[in-house]
Amino acid sequence: MFCRICGNKINTEYASYNCKECSYRVHMKCLKRFRYIYEESSPATSESVPNNSIGRSTHLIKALNQTNDEGPHLGEIQRFSHDHQLKLILCDHEVKDDKLCEGCTEFIISAPFYSCVQCQFFFHIRCAELPTTIEQHRLAHYCTLTLLRRAHTMSGVFFCSVCFRQRRGFAYSISHELLWFLDIQCSSIPETLEHEGHQHLFCLALDPQNRKCKACPRDNEKYVFVCTSCDFILGIRCANLPLVVKHKYDTHLLKLTYAIENDSGEYYCLICEEKRDKEHWFYYCKECNFPTHPECVLLET
């Protein structure tokens, strides 16, 4: 049993707040602190109740003839951010050509995905079906978020206000905060997380109190995931790392890796040629023996 604000365990001998309908619990002191932070930063009143209201970003043109195990995705859609129809592409092999998703600007590695029927535009399913609005998002002080096709900066490049990573592509914004942006990865982050890099369940801590991520060298993360069973802390930046990436220096996919690749005692990034900490996560191609820092490979893709 753990607090959904700080992520620490709750001692049942002391009073805490809990939901009667689910397992949501918080420390009394955490709720008081979080209410103060929320009331100071949000234009909404303290009586507002968070919800999951969303606005649709697509409308159906043609339904796909699917069996039940193929998922709920649509065959052809019209997206608000693109003038032409998008068609769902199904295939059972790896996508060989370099196809960049227009939403998140990351490579499309596997099908299914959406493709424009008239021009060379591609979207991950998750990016094509993003909601245009999200009401009272917990990482945006429970304000309403609006999806932008392009951040209103000079170049369209922006820094996510939650993970502080430089991004291109779609962004969510708060209407009254001119330079506050949320990237689409952080917009869909869950409250609890299972990650292949750790054996236990994580809980998102909205008030992390400057705890350090164990997967990278960053200090003072704004939001972290706290392991509910041990002392492992995972920053939201690392929680959002793609499991596989492409890079121009390697013909294979690079896989996010959590343990050292050999016992040599010396570990380097082959992009920046600087040393790597053996305790930190990295990307690795086993076929080419190509290890790299996550930030190095992501900045060059």
- State the DSSP string of 213-269: PSSSS--S-SSEEEESSSS-EEEHHHHT--SEEEETTEEEEEEEE-S-S-SSS--B-
263 Cβ neighbours under 8 A, 6+ residues apart: none
Question: What pLDDT, in 10s, does the model give residues 203-239?
Answer: 888 765 667 899 999 877 778 999 988 989 999 999 9
Model confidence at 254, in pLDDT bands (50, 70, 90)? very high
Q: Domain range spanning residue 106?
A: 58-63+72-128
pLDDT band at 98; cut points 50, 70, 90: confident
Which residues face 250 on adjacent strands?
A: 247
Q: Does any domain span residue 276?
A: yes
CB atoms within 10 A of CB 89: 15
User: Domain for residue 187, yes or no?
Assistant: no
Strands (DSSP E) along 72-139, which ranges?
A: 76-79, 85-89, 113-116, 122-124, 133-137
Residue 275: count of CB within 10 angstroms of its CB: 11
Residue 264 lies in a domain: yes
Mean pLDDT computed over 108-122: 78
Number of domains in the chain: 2
Give the pLDDT score at 248.
77
The answer to whether 130 touches 57, Cβ cutoff 8 Å, is yes
Pick from 109, 128, 147: which residue ends a domain? 128
Of the ranges 140-154, 237-251, 278-292, the best mean pLDDT one:
278-292
**pLDDT at residue 65 is higher than 60:** no
Q: For residue 251, is it within any domain?
A: yes
Give the residue-averaged pLDDT of 2-28: 72
Is residue 80 assigned to a domain? yes
d(CA 103, CA 7): 31
Last residue of a domain, one of 112, 128, 144: 128
Look at the chain and count its residues. Answer: 301
DSSP state of 212: P
Examine residue 122 and state whether it is found in any structural domain, yes or no. Answer: yes
Residue 286 belongs to a domain? yes
151 has a pLDDT exceeding 60: yes
Arithmetic mean of pLDDT, 67-81? 51
- pLDDT more than 90, % of the chain: 27
6's CB contacts (< 8 A; 6+ apart) are: 27, 30, 205, 207, 208, 209, 226
C-alpha 85 chain-centroid distance: 27
Nearest to 128 by CA among 152, 109, 154, 147: 147
pLDDT at 258: 95
Please report, for the domain that includes residue 284, its CATH number. 3.30.60
Contact indicator for 27, 6 with CB cutoff of 8 Å: yes
What does the radius of gyration of the chain's CA atoms come to, in whole angstroms?
21
CA distances from residue 57 to 65, 129, 203, 286 in whole angstroms, order as listed: 22, 6, 29, 40
Give the residue from 128, 147, 165 where a domain finishes. 128
Give domain status of residue 25, yes or no.
no
Alpha helices in 46-183 (DSSP H): 125-128
The whole-angstrom separation of Cα 259 and Cα 262 is 9
Backbone dihedral angles phi then psi of residue 125, each to the nearest 5 degrees: -55, -45
